Amino acid sequence: MVEPRPLVTLVPVGDAATAAATAMAKEQTRAAAAWDRKNEVALSDIMMAVKPHLLNIVEDCVTAKKACDNLRILFEYDTNSRRAELEQELAVLKMGGGETIIKFVGRAKGLRNDLATAGVVVSEHSMVLHVLRGLPSGNGMIKTVLENLPTPLRLPAATAKLLNVEKQIKANDGGGAPPTGQAFTAGEKPVAPTTGKGKRKKTCFYCKRPGHFVNECRTRKADDAKRGGDGNKGHGTGGERMGFAARAPHAADGVQSLANNANVWLVDSGATHHMATGRGDYMLSKEENGAGITLASGGMAAVVGEGTATIKTNGEYRAKTITLDNTMCVPELRENLLSVATVDKVGGAVAFLGGRCYLFQEADTIRETGVLAKAGATGAMDLRGQYMLGGGGGPPEAMVASAAVAGVPVIWHRRFFHLGFNNLAKAAKIVKGLPPSEVVPERVAGAICPPCAQGKLARAPHPASTTTAPRMTLIHSDTCGPFSLSLGGALHFVTLLEDKTKLLLAVPIAAKSHTGAVLREKIPMLERLCGDKAKRIRFDGAKDYVTKEMIAWYAAAGIDYEVTPPYSSQSNGAAKRINRTIKEMVRSALADAGMGQELWAEALAAAVYVRSRSPHAGCELTPREDFTGEKSDVSGFRV
């Protein structure tokens, strides 16, 4: 709230009868002066906060209140015009051709959010009515039903009903897509084309050529003859086959594999859990909302709950019933899936041999025979429940990253190049085509996205090291730049860091070719300053350090030089870190003084001077005192 300026009452000075009035006038004058200072600060803040194209509105204002009033009038006008535009767009909202219910409702939600920002609140019931009015004519029945419900309409429930109607319309028009394949194993079955009269056109699912069916395919018969089989047996379907289709064995419990049988179970070594369609001998015990499984095609299938499934198996001598607890109910699957990984976890075993599948209640039945020791290769199960062969295992970080991320948002997470879930939820509010209901982060406890973890892997840091070598035993050096052209014509700087005392020198240079001249001048200066001889210098592979002239100078001065390996900045970490520290000090000083970047060289000299007289981690003395033995005097420091 902007305070009004206090009034000042003038009274004669020196009149004894008006002493109280004089004191009041002085107090009013002080209050007015304080108000003027506050007004100047507030007006300055407003001018700095507004965008450049709005400065002409506030630059002629004398008070902050006047500037606020001008901006308020402007924004109220913009808000009113935007509000009228959004209300008109909502009134004529129509579902476009080829637009799905999800996209249409998402577009309507976006309009509602924009109106709320403009100050117009649209109730959920009104929003549903706008959505219903915008539907095409084919949805007349569901529109009538929803509009005549006795209770207020809610958008999520209405959207769910509209999605069901949309699915039915697509199915009736022949546009419905078949369900995606089984989790982790099966692909989609090919659909034979039809003729114009509605009869199915002959197309072989084996060779993909028209004119004959698979049982008439000569290519298939020739392939079966090469394998020693009969082309008239079985039902090959080309490259798209089930991962494991079980067959009833003679000597052990077997699982039948008959198409279109609700009680048939496919044995799947890739599924992480037992999964049932819920159409056979299945009893649902616990309902779930929002959970899902990832299919081999990359899509998702909803899990409606968990329960107990019953499998009736046939053997040569007896029939047996197997009960599977904690079986997921996934109605979108075409067949029930028996998870090999789950059987293994509960102590059982599954064996595949001669085109048959054998289930054992006790894994020791196989283990005690000694046949495992004769295996040619051995794999292992990772944390995703997948059996991996080869690779020899990964580091602990990779194993932790193998945990899966659950829920529908994982698809959008992958589409957005593994954008974080929080930012994904924000994106649903500011882009089109991304329903907010599909980006709610539902995650398994402790789960990590493996590609995200792999993409963010970084090289482990080198272990910390300390030195006890005498002074001038080792000097770290590096060049840094280019920067903005300084007043003295410098674009780079060279640093020399004494390893024992951490004394630093930094010299601005116009080009990196001047590096050698700096070393030949500054290293002897350091030797004279402390009385010790330089023994080693360490730098990266920059060619300016290892010219013929510099190599000859190192030999003449008795200095050994060390070149760190390429692509390993950690090996020259001391020089790299001091470069970063000194640049941060220079930027802070320039920002504090309000100076331009062309003064970076002068700020660099001042920063090095101050750092040499400042404490350093792990040292009891300042670098200069430790190097020269003289106590530093900072009484001349000024800002």
> Any idea what the CATH number is for the domain that residue 507 is in?
3.30.420.10
417 and 491 share one domain: no
pLDDT the model gives residue 228: 52
Helix axes 124-133, 140-147, angle to 10 degrees: 160
Res 40 pLDDT > 90 = no
Section 452-476 average pLDDT: 77
Pairing relationship of beta strands 536-539 and 474-480 according to DSSP bridges: parallel
What mean pLDDT comes out for the span 602-627?
87
Q: Dihedral sign, CA of 91, 95, 96, 101?
A: positive
Task: Quote the pLDDT of residue 175.
Answer: 45
Among 210, 241, 272, identify where a domain stops.
241
**Whether residue 161 sits in one domain with residue 100:** yes
pLDDT at 494 over 90: yes
- Residues 163, 102 share a domain: yes
Residue 367 makes CB contacts below 8 A (sequence gap 6+) with: none
Q: What percentage of residues in the chain have a pLDDT greater than 70?
A: 74
Quick check: is 275 in a domain?
no
Q: Decide if pLDDT at 329 tops 90.
A: no
What pLDDT is stored for residue 17 in this prediction? 53
Q: What is the pLDDT of residue 491?
A: 93
Contacts 24+ apart (CB under 8 A), 8-14: 8/32
Domain span at residue 207?
Answer: 200-241
Same domain, 490 and 549: yes
For residue 527, tell me if it sits in a domain: yes
Report the pLDDT averaged over residues 471-486.
90
What six digits make up the tokens of 103? Answer: 């996209």
pLDDT score recorded for residue 98: 76
SS3 content of the chain, % helix, strand, coil (to 5): 40, 15, 45
Most confident of 224-228, 351-355, 434-438, 533-537: 533-537
Last residue of a domain, one of 421, 455, 489: 455
- List helix spans (H) across 154-280: 155-172, 218-227
Number of domains in the chain: 4
Q: At which of 181, 210, 241 does a domain end?
A: 241
312 in any annotated domain: no
Q: Same domain for 493 and 616?
A: yes
Residue 211 and residue 161 share a domain = no
Q: What's the pLDDT score for residue 362?
A: 82
**Residue 201, exposed/middle/buried by CB under 10 A (0-12, 13-18, 19+)?**
exposed
| Tally of helices (H runs) and strands (E runs) in the chain | 19, 17
Q: Return the minimum-mean-pLDDT range out of 88-92, 316-320, 519-523.
A: 316-320
Question: Residue 39 phi/psi, 5° resolution?
Answer: -65, -40
- How confident is the prediction for the chain on average, in pLDDT? 75
Residue 393's pLDDT is 42
pLDDT score, position 267: 86
User: What is the rounded average pLDDT of the residues 238-265?
Assistant: 41
Neighbours of 258 (CB within 10 A): 8
The answer to whether residue 45 sits within a structural domain is no
User: Out of 385-394, 513-522, 530-539, which region has the weakest mean confidence (pLDDT)?
Assistant: 385-394
Q: What is the mean pLDDT of residues 112-122?
A: 77
Long-range contacts of 244-247 (CB under 8 A, 24+ apart): 244/185, 244/268, 244/269, 244/352, 244/357, 246/338, 246/356, 246/357, 247/355, 247/356, 247/357
Is 387 part of any domain? Answer: no
pLDDT band, very low/low/confident/very high, at 208 (cuts 50, 70, 90): low
Cα–Cα distances (Å) from 80 to 66, 91, 115, 120, 157, in that order, read 21, 17, 11, 10, 33
Q: What is the DSSP string of 116-175?
A: HHTT----HHHHHHHHHHTS-GGGHHHHHHHHT-SSPP-HHHHHHHHHHHHHHHHHHTT-
Residue 605: pLDDT band by 50, 70, 90 thresholds? very high
pLDDT, mean of residues 451-460: 78
Q: Quote the pLDDT of residue 265.
A: 83
Q: Which residues contact 350 (CB under 8 A, 6 or more apart)?
A: 267, 269, 340, 343, 344, 357, 358, 359, 360
Backbone angles phi, psi at 472, to 5 degrees: 70, 15
- Cis peptide bond N-terminal to 52, omega within 30: no
Confidence grade of residue 466 (pLDDT, cut at 50, 70, 90): low
Name which of 78-82, 257-261, 270-274 the model is least confident about. Answer: 257-261
Shared domain check, 486 and 525: yes
Residue 490, beta-bridge partner list = none
Long-range contacts of 423-431 (CB under 8 A, 24+ apart): 429/113
The whole-number pLDDT of residue 316 equals 52
Residue 232 lies in a domain: yes
Query: Above pLDDT 90, what percent of the chain?
Result: 11
Q: What is the pLDDT of residue 392?
A: 45
pLDDT-derived band at 551 (thresholds 50, 70, 90) equals: very high
**558 within a domain of the structure (yes/no):** yes
pLDDT at position 3 is 59
pLDDT (tens digit, 9 = 90+) per residue, 579-601?
899 999 999 988 888 888 899 99
Q: Summarize the confidence of residues 230-251 as an average pLDDT.
A: 35
**Who wins on pLDDT, 64 or 437?**
64
pLDDT at 121 over 80: yes
451 and 423 together in one domain: yes
Helix/strand/coil for 639: coil
Q: What is the CA radius of gyration of the chain?
A: 39
Mean pLDDT computed over 472-494: 91
Q: By C-alpha distance, which of 145, 183, 186, 182 is closest to 162?
A: 145
**What count of other Cβ atoms lies within 10 Å of the Cβ of residue 392?**
5
Please give the pLDDT value at position 550.
92
Are residue 121 and residue 209 in the same domain, yes or no? no
> Which is nearest to 271 in space by CA: 239, 302, 293?
293
* Structural tokens at position 300: 């998702």
Burial per residue of 296-329, b for 16 or more beta-carbon CB atoms within 10 angstroms, e otherwise: beeebbebbbbbbbebebeeeeeeeebebeebbb
8 A C-beta contact, residue 351 and residue 366 = yes
Check whether residue 407 and residue 524 sit in a common domain: no
Q: What is the C-alpha end-to-end distance of the chain, expressed in Å?
A: 36
For residues 533 and 589, state if they share a domain: yes
Q: Which residue has the higher pLDDT, 106 or 232?
A: 106
**88-93-95 Cα angle (round to 5):** 160
Q: How far apart are alpha carbons 250 and 256 in whole angstroms?
A: 12
What residues pair up with 312 in beta bridges, in sequence order?
321
**548-557 vs 515-530: helix axis angle to the nearest 10?**
10
Query: Would you state the pLDDT for residue 284?
Result: 74
Q: Are residues 214 and 109 both part of a single domain?
A: no
Task: Over range 358-376, report the average pLDDT.
Answer: 79
Q: How confident is the model at residue 518 (pLDDT cuts 50, 70, 90)?
A: very high
- So what's the pLDDT on residue 237? 33
Is residue 434 situated within a structural domain? yes
Picking from 20-24, 187-191, 346-350, 410-414, which range would have the lowest pLDDT averaged per residue? 187-191
Helix (H) or strand (E) holding 423: helix 421-430
Q: Does residue 413 register a pLDDT over 70?
A: yes
Q: Where do we find the tokens 């982790």?
A: 184
